[in-house]
Amino acid sequence: MATRAWHRTREAIFRMLAYAVMAIALFITTFPVYWLATNSFKLDIDIFAVPPVWFEFSPTLKHYEAAFIGQPFLIYALNSLIIAVATTIVSLIFGTMAGYALARFHYPGRWRYQISFWILSTRMMPPIVTIIPLFIFFNFFNLLNTRLAVVVAYTAFNLPFVTWMMKSYFQDLPPELEEAAMVDGDTRWGAFVRVALPLARPGIVATAIFSLILAWNEFLLALILTQTDRSMTLPVGISGRVTQYTTHWGEISAAGFLASLPIIIFALIVQRHLVRGMSFGAVKG
């Protein structure tokens, strides 16, 4: 009896401990985001206040006005949006077909493994390693400081991810429905377009959102490929203002928070697919 009582007490202690740890983890996770968000709505006097102003400040949209009307952050945001959408469309068209071909067709020997692995291995290239040749390459075709160059580069970087994700979604679909369509006289391509694609729609949507997020967040390649106000993406624009001697904390906080906001919303939508997305389709969460 004594041991059972001790056991119950120990369980209760562990449970309390778990809740306490969760509270701390939540605080540590959310506080920095709260801080960025509130700083973007604070007057300069409150941003620089010592001790810091935690809760009570008179909110202002001044920094948003300064960043998006006075400074060209609106153009950067538009560039980021156009690049992210174009990258996603192209890499999804290419990657969905490749993922399907790898999931469904028959290959001699270990070719399926070899091709899949090679596609993944291109992703292992650190971006820093490819930026010099990419810079020279796009310079040669006079494409530096264009959104097209960024879209081409991002598509190549997103394709391994999209291909592996779509391959994993197609492998989850039962092939019988496509077989039935073909028995009914549809072609192989017709079965892909009319049967497999609609069934894979949730996977396609999740993959598209991941691709959008990857392109929206990318920094290093954009830093090399876009240097002008007309072509610059939002992360590059923000970084240019951070490293200057006088940092306009309010304005860059506003730009940083606004760059994060759509991502937070998107992340909520793909929540269910998150683990699979973060692991290239390897872990099904």
Partner 1 sequence: MRERMADPILTVPTGSGTAFERWRERHLRILMLAPTLLLLAGLTLFPTVYMLTAAVQNVSPDPDVPREFVGLGNFARMLTDPELHVAVRNTVVFTVVAVTLEFLLGLGLALLFDKYIRRLNFLKTILLVPMMIPPIAVALTWKLIYQPQFGVLNELMFRLGLPSQAWAGDVNLAMATIIAADVWEWTPFIFLLMLAGLASLPSEPYEAAQVDGASAWRQFWDLTVPFLKPVIAIALLLRIMDALRLFDLVFILTVGGPAGATETLSLYIFKVAFTFVDIGYAAAISLVVLFATVGFSTWFIKRMRLAD
Q: Which one of residues 6, 117, 194, 230 is an interface residue with partner 1 (CB under 8 A)?
A: 117
From the list 56-64, 68-76, 141-149, 159-167, the region that binds partner 1 by CB under 8 A is 159-167
Q: Which one of residues 94, 143, 145, 146 is an interface residue with partner 1 (CB under 8 A)?
A: 94
Nearer to partner 1 (CB atom), residue 185 or residue 198: 185
215: contact with partner 1 by CB under 8 A: no
280: contact with partner 1 by CB under 8 A: yes
Contacts of 164 (CB under 8 A, 6+ apart): 99, 116, 119, 120, 280, 281, 282
Residue 145 CB, nearest distance to partner 1 (Å)? Answer: 15
Nearer to partner 1 (CB atom), residue 47 or residue 83: 47
21: contact with partner 1 by CB under 8 A: yes
268: contact with partner 1 by CB under 8 A: yes
Peptide bond into 32 cis (omega under 30): no
Site for partner 1 in 119-158 (CB under 8 A): 119-122, 124-134, 136-137, 152-153, 155-156
Nearer to partner 1 (CB atom), residue 69 or residue 261: 261
From the list 33-41, 58-66, 70-78, 81-89, the region that binds partner 1 by CB under 8 A is 33-41
Contacts by residues 100-105 (CB-CB < 8 Å, ≥ 24 positions apart): 100/166, 100/167, 100/170, 100/192, 100/196, 102/163, 102/167, 103/166, 103/167, 103/168, 103/170, 103/171, 104/170, 104/175, 104/178, 104/196
- Binding residues for partner 1, how many (CB under 8 A)? 110
Q: How far is CA 262 from CA 72, 77, 84, 206, 265, in A?
A: 19, 11, 12, 15, 5
33: contact with partner 1 by CB under 8 A: yes
Query: For the window 163-202, what string marks contact with partner 1 as x by the rule CB under 8 A?
Result: xx------x---x--xx--x----xxx--x----------
Contacts of 144 (CB under 8 A, 6+ apart): 135, 138, 225, 227
Residue 194 CB, nearest distance to partner 1 (Å)? Answer: 14
205: contact with partner 1 by CB under 8 A: no
Q: Which one of residues 65, 107, 180, 205 is an interface residue with partner 1 (CB under 8 A)?
A: 107
Read off the amino acid at residue 75.
Answer: I
Contacts of 77 (CB under 8 A, 6+ apart): 68, 234, 258, 259
Q: Which one of residues 60, 145, 219, 229 is an interface residue with partner 1 (CB under 8 A)?
A: 219
Q: Which one of residues 42, 47, 231, 232 is an interface residue with partner 1 (CB under 8 A)?
A: 47
C-alpha to C-alpha distance for 83 and 155, rounded to whole angstroms: 10
What is the separation of C-alpha 212 from the centre of its chain, rounded to a whole number of angstroms?
Answer: 6
- Which 8-state DSSP code applies to residue 187? -
How many helical (H) and strand (E) elements, i.e. helices and strands, does the chain have? 15, 0
